[in-house]
Chains A and B, each alone.
Chain A
Amino acid sequence: DSGVTQTPKHLITATGQRVTLRCSPRSGDLSVYWYQQSLDQGLQFLIQYYNGEERAKGNILERFSAQQFPDLHSELNLSSLELGDSALYFCASSVVHRGGTEAFFGQGTRLTVV
């Protein structure tokens, strides 16, 4: 168990709908990262929050948004869903080592858009 909690584990929804994925980082970790794993794109970084503020942005679509709340949990909102958004979405939090950071991943949310 990595200590990062993601809900729900599975989600099936229709095209055009909106969903919210939730993540609780490990106790004490201030950073939350969201990644998408799809068959054609592999594992890709979407967005990072640090202590409530957006820190870095990757290839995140405009239809997607995220936020981190004062209790440090984060939500990833996906709207106007398309078939191609079907993927495994991971949340991670990180611990700082001297010179770098080590990431720990949640179990993922498997999103299926039908």
Chain B
Amino acid sequence: GIQVEQSPPDLILQEGANSTLRCNFSDSVNNLQWFHQNPWGQLINLFYIPSGTKQNGRLSATTVATERYSLLYISSSQTTDSGVYFCAVSRRDNQGGKLIFGQGTELSVKP
């Protein structure tokens, strides 16, 4: 099946720093989403981005589908950005849209 790899697995930042998280996937996809899992366990939608670039405040994401990777940029990080960031994809030939998740990047932002 499709493989999703995220890097780095862990990241520690000082408040105000910028970061880039990466997601590589092994096959063509028709859906790519970024989620933030907060310390309470909630999975929060950040981006639906099967291709192209999107921005939402301090966060932006870029997916290059032809090269099978996506990047999530976090600028001017805040302590509330702490948590685990997941990339998830569904295959182009998949019926139904089930998501395959990467193992996540655990981000800790220190004050």
Contact = CB atoms under 8 A, between A and B. Distances in A.
Given A100-B90, A108-B41, A56 B48 contact: no
A55 to B, nearest CB: 4
Contacts of B83: none
A72 interface: no
Taking residues whose C-beta sits less than 8 angstroms from the other chain, chain B's interface range is: 20 to 34
A97 B54 CA distance: 16
Interface residues of A, number: 28
B56 interface: no
Contact of B35 (A31, A44, A105): A105
A42 B41 contact: no
A35 B100 CA distance: 10
Contact of B31 (A2, A44, A58, A102): A102
